[in-house]
C-alpha cells in the first residue's frame, strides 16, 4: 500500500503545492461565500414567501420525521417504485454523495495534515470519487435518454433542465480530465497500480500523455483546474440563488421532514366555524405555510399525473400542472403581497387564474397522486380548501351537486329519500335497533348507499345475515342514523358535513357506542379519521376486516363453491386511505372454487372507480368515463367478476359493465354477497343476477 501511495504522488508534489493547494484554499473561501449567498437567498426567495401562509404545526414528532427523511433520502424510498427513473435517481444521488465524500476528505486532508505525503485515506477518497463520478455519468445518461429520447408525456422539459445536464456533465468530465492531465504530466512511466485507485482518470491519462518537461503544461493544468473548479462553485451558487430544478436538493428534504403525520386522508375541519369570516382558500396567502412549501417542493416529476384517473381520462386536471401553476402564482403574487401592508393588499384569486373550474372539480380525491409523490406533497387537502371557498363563499358548484347537498340537508341522504325509510332494508331480517337493544357489541353503521340504494340494500342484508350467522352481537341505528357527511365534506360544504357528523356523534354517544362496523369505506374513513375532530372517538371496522376475522376464527364456514374468474378492485378509501389490502383478498382466497386474479393496477396503485371526492354525484361530461376505464382494466385482466368492498365502487363498476355491454358475461359483487353465497345458508339467486347493475335490479 505504501509503495502505491508514494508512487501515486511521486513527481506530483509540485502540482499539489503550487496548483491544487491554492485552488482548494480559494474554494474554501468561495464555499463560505456560497453558503452566505444561500442563506440570504433562502430567506428572501423561500422563507419569506412561506411566511405569507397561515400557521400550521409541523414541528412535533421530530424523531419520526427524521426517520422517514433519512429513509427517503438515502434509500430513495418512494422513487424506487418505478424501476427506470428510480435507478436513474439512485445512481445520480449516490454518485454525487460519493464524489462529495471523496472531495471533502481530500479538501480537509490538507489543513489537518492527513496528506502531504498523502495517507491511505486519500487513496480510498480518490477511488470513491472516481466511482461516484461514473455512477453520476451513467445516471445522467439514463436521464438524458429518458428526457430527450424516450420523452414520457409526464415530463415537461424546460431550458433549466437542459442547463443542469450540460453543466453537470461539464463539471464531471473536466474533473476526470484534470486528474488525467495530472497523471499524464508524470509521464509515460505511470504505474499501472494507479488504475486501481483512479480507474477512469488513469484511462484518460493514457489518452493525453502531456509532455512532462514542458513548463507550459503546468500552466495548462492550472487553466484546467480553474475550468473545473470555477463552474463547480458557480453551479453551487446558481443552485443557491436561482429557481433551478436542482433546488429540490434542499426543498424536497424540507418538505419530507415537515410532511403531515395526521392519519392519511383526514381533513382538518375549519376552526371556529361560527366565528370565521371566510372559509377555505381564495388566494395564495390563505394556504398554510406548509402548503406553500408543498408548491415549491414540487419537482415537476409528473409521477402524480401518471396515476391520476382524471388526467388519464382526459379531464383538464393534472396534479403536476396544478401544483406548478400554483407555484408560479406564488412566485408572481408573493413578492407583490409582501411589498404592501396587509390592509392594502389586493391579492389575485386562485380560481380563474391558476386553477380552472373543471380542473378543480375533476379531482376524485383518490389519493393516487399523494401515494405516488416522492416528496409527500398533499394535493387533496389543497383541493378541498379551494372547493370550500367555492362552495361556502361563492356558492359555485355544479347544479347537480346543489340538489345532492339539498337532499343531504333535508333528508340526510344524497338521494333525498325520506329518512323514515332508512331502516326498510332490514325488514324481516330480525335486526334490532339500538333503541330496542342498546347492549350490543357493535353498531352496524349502514350508511346511505346501504340504506337506500337498491343494490346497496342487498349488500347490507347479506352482511347482516353473515353477522347473525356468526353470532356477532350487533344492532343498527335505524331511522336515527344519518348520512356520514363524507360527500359534503369532499364537495367542500364543511358546514353541512359538521352538522351531519355532530348529529351522528350525538346519537352514537347517546347509546354509548364503542365499536362500529361499516360496509362503506367513505363512512369508514369519515367515522374513523374525521369524527374524532368532534369528539367522536370510536373503534371503527370495515366489513371486510370483520368477515376476514370471522373466517380466520372459524366462526363462519364457506362451503359452497362460487365459480368465476374474480378480480378485486381496491377502493381508494379502503386501500390507499386505510391500507386495507390483504383482508379482502384473504376472504376471496378462502371462498371455494373462486379464482382470483389481479388487475395491472392493484393495491396502492389501484385505479379509482370515479366516484370519490363526491364525483359520485356529479355528471362526467368531459373525456372518458373513469368507471368504464376501470372496467376495461378488469376485462383486460381476463376477469368475469369484479369483487369490491365499497357501495360507490359497486355502482360505478356495475355501470361500467353495462356501458361496455358485458352484463351477460360479467358482474360486480360486494365481498359480503360473495361470502353469504359461499356460506350456503339459504337459497340464493345465481351470482350473475345478484350483481346486475342497480337500475336493472
Residues forming contacts to other proteins in the complex (CB under 8 A) are: 159-160, 163, 166-167, 169-170, 173-174, 177, 207-211, 214, 216-217, 219-220, 227, 231, 234-235, 238, 241-244, 335
Instruction: Please tell me what DSSP assigns to residue 615.
Output: G
Shortest CB 269 distance to other proteins, Å: 38
Instruction: Tell me the angle at which helices 647-659 and 454-470 cross, rounded to the nearest 10 degrees.
Output: 130
Distance CA 454, CA 451 (A): 8
Q: Which is nearer to other proteins, 234 or 266 (CB)?
A: 234
Q: Which is nearer to other proteins, 185 or 377 (CB)?
A: 185
Shortest CB 97 distance to other proteins, Å: 22
Give bridge partners of residue 594 from the DSSP assignment.
Answer: 564
Contacts of 673 (CB under 8 A, 6+ apart): 458, 459, 462, 690, 691
Shortest CB 231 distance to other proteins, Å: 5
Shortest CB 127 distance to other proteins, Å: 24
Shortest CB 330 distance to other proteins, Å: 14
Q: Which is nearer to other proteins, 173 or 469 (CB)?
A: 173
Contact status, residue 482 vs residue 510, Cβ threshold 8 Å: no
- The grid coordinates listed for 397 are 358548484
Q: Which is nearer to other proteins, 298 or 649 (CB)?
A: 298
Q: Which is nearer to other proteins, 224 or 458 (CB)?
A: 224
Distance CA 135, CA 129 (A): 10
**Other C-beta atoms lying within 10 Å of the C-beta of residue 592:** 11
Contact status, residue 679 vs residue 469, Cβ threshold 8 Å: yes
Backbone angles phi, psi at 140, to 5 degrees: -65, -40
Q: Which is nearer to other proteins, 46 or 311 (CB)?
A: 46
Shortest CB 85 distance to other proteins, Å: 24
Q: Please count the helices (runs of H) and the strands (runs of E) in the chain.
A: 31, 8
Q: Which is nearer to other proteins, 211 or 696 (CB)?
A: 211
Shortest CB 243 distance to other proteins, Å: 5
Contact status, residue 184 vs residue 209, Cβ threshold 8 Å: yes
Contact status, residue 336 vs residue 293, Cβ threshold 8 Å: no
Shortest CB 174 distance to other proteins, Å: 6
Shortest CB 641 distance to other proteins, Å: 56
Strands 594-597 and 442-445 come out as unpaired
Q: Does residue 117 have a cis bond before it (omega within 30 degrees)?
A: yes
Contact status, residue 471 vs residue 555, Cβ threshold 8 Å: yes
**Nearest partner of 330 among 361, 288, 367, 392, judged by Cα:** 288
Shortest CB 160 distance to other proteins, Å: 6
Q: Which run of H or of E encompasses 172? A: helix 159-186
Q: Which is nearer to other proteins, 209 or 403 (CB)?
A: 209
Q: Which is nearer to other proteins, 217 or 479 (CB)?
A: 217
The sheet carrying 641-644 orders its strands as 594-597, 564-568, 641-644, 667-670
Q: Which is nearer to other proteins, 238 or 549 (CB)?
A: 238
Q: Which run of H or of E encompasses 568? A: strand 564-568
Amino acid at each position: 500500500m505504501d509503495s502505491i501511495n508514494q508512487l501515486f504522488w511521486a513527481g506530483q508534489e509540485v502540482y499539489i503545492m503550487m496548483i491544487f493547494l491554492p485552488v482548494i484554499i480559494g474554494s474554501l473561501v468561495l464555499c463560505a461565500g456560497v453558503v452566505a449567498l444561500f442563506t440570504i437567498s433562502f430567506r428572501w426567495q423561500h422563507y419569506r414567501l412561506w411566511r405569507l401562509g397561515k400557521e400550521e404545526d409541523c414541528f412535533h414528532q421530530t424523531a419520526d420525521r427524521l426517520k422517514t427523511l433519512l429513509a427517503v433520502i438515502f434509500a430513495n424510498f418512494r422513487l424506487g417504485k418505478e424501476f427506470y427513473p428510480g435507478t436513474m435517481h439512485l445512481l445520480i444521488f449516490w454518485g454525487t454523495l460519493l464524489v462529495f465524500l471523496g472531495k471533502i476528505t481530500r479538501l480537509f486532508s490538507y489543513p489537518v495534515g492527513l496528506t502531504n505525503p498523502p495517507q491511505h485515506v486519500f487513496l480510498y477518497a480518490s477511488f470513491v470519487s472516481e466511482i461516484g463520478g461514473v455512477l453520476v455519468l451513467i445516471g445522467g445518461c439514463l436521464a438524458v435518454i429518458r428526457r430527450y429520447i424516450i420523452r414520457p408525456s409526464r415530463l415537461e422539459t424546460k431550458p433549466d433542465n437542459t442547463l443542469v445536464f450540460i453543466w453537470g456533465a461539464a463539471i464531471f468530465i473536466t474533473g476526470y480530465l484534470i486528474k488525467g492531465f495530472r497523471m499524464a504530466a508524470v509521464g509515460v512511466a505511470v504505474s499501472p497500480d494507479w488504475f486501481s485507485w483512479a480507474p477512469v482518470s488513469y484511462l484518460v491519462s493514457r489518452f493525453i500523455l502531456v509532455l512532462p518537461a514542458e513548463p507550459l503544461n503546468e500552466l495548462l493544468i492550472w487553466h484546467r483546474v480553474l475550468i473545473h473548479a470555477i463552474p463547480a462553485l458557480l453551479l453551487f451558487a446558481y443552485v443557491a440563488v436561482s429557481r433551478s430544478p436542482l433546488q429540490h436538493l434542499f426543498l424536497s428534504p424540507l418538505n419530507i421532514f415537515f410532511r403531515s403525520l395526521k392519519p392519511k386522508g383526514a381533513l382538518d375541519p375549519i376552526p371556529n366555524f361560527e366565528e370565521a369570516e371566510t372559509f377555505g382558500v381564495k388566494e395564495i396567502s390563505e394556504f398554510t405555510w406548509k402548503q406553500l412549501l408543498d408548491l415549491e417542493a414540487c419537482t415537476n416529476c409528473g409521477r402524480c399525473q401518471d396515476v391520476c384517473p382524471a388526467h388519464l381520462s382526459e379531464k383538464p386536471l393534472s396534479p403536476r400542472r396544478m401544483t406548478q401553476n400554483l407555484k408560479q402564482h406564488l412566485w408572481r403574487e408573493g413578492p407583490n403581497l409582501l411589498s404592501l401592508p396587509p390592509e392594502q393588499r389586493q391579492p389575485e384569486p386562485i380560481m380563474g387564474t391558476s386553477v380552472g373550474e373543471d380542473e378543480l372539480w375533476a379531482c376524485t380525491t383518490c389519493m393516487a397522486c399523494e401515494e405516488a409523490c416522492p416528496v409527500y406533497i398533499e394535493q387533496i387537502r389543497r383541493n378541498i380548501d379551494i372547493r370550500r371557498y367555492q362552495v361556502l363563499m361563492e356558492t359555485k358548484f355544479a347544479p347537480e351537486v346543489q340538489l345532492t347537498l339539498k337532499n343531504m340537508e333535508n333528508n340526510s341522504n344524497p338521494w333525498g329519500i325520506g329518512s323514515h325509510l332508512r331502516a326498510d332494508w332490514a325488514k324481516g331480517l330480525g335486526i334490532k335497533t339500538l333503541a330496542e337493544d342498546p347492549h350490543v357489541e357493535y353498531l352496524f353503521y349502514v350508511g346511505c348507499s346501504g340504506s337506500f340504494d337498491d343494490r346497496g340494500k342487498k349488500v347490507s342484508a347479506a352482511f347482516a345475515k353473515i353477522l347473525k350467522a356468526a353470532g356477532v352481537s350487533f344492532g343498527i341505528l335505524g331511522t336515527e342514523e344519518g348520512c356520514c357527511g363524507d360527500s359534503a365534506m369532499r364537495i367542500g360544504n364543511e358546514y353541512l358535513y359538521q352538522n351531519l357528523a355532530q348529529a351522528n356523534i350525538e346519537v352514537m354517544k347517546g347509546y354509548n357506542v364503542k365499536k362500529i362496523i361499516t360496509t362503506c369505506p367513505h363512512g369508514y374513513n369519515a367515522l374513523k379519521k374525521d369524527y374524532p375532530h368532534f369528539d367522536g372517538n370510536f373503534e371503527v371496522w370495515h366489513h371486510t376486516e370483520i368477515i376476514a376475522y370471522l373466517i380466520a376464527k372459524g366462526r363462519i364456514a364457506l362451503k359452497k363453491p362460487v365459480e368465476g374468474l374474480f378480480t378485486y378492485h381496491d377502493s381508494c378509501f379502503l386501500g390507499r386511505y386505510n391500507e386495507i389490502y390483504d383482508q379482502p383478498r384473504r376472504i376471496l382466497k378462502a371462498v371455494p372454487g373462486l379464482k382470483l386474479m389481479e388487475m395491472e393496477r392493484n393495491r396502492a396503485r389501484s385505479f379509482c372507480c370515479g366516484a370519490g371526492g363526491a364525483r359520485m354525484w356529479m355528471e362526467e361530461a368531459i373525456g372518458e368515463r373513469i368507471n368504464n376505464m376501470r372496467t376495461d382494466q378488469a376485462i383486460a385482466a381476463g376477469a368475469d367478476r369484479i369483487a369490491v368492498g365499497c357501495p360507490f365502487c359497486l355502482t360505478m363498476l356495475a355501470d361500467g359493465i353495462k356501458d361496455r355491454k358485458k352484463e351477460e358475461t360479467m358482474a360486480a359483487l360486494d365481498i359480503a354477497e360473495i361470502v353469504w353465497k359461499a356460506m350456503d345458508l339459504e337459497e340464493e339467486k345465481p351470482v350473475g343476477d345478484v350483481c346486475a347493475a342497480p337500475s336493472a335490479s
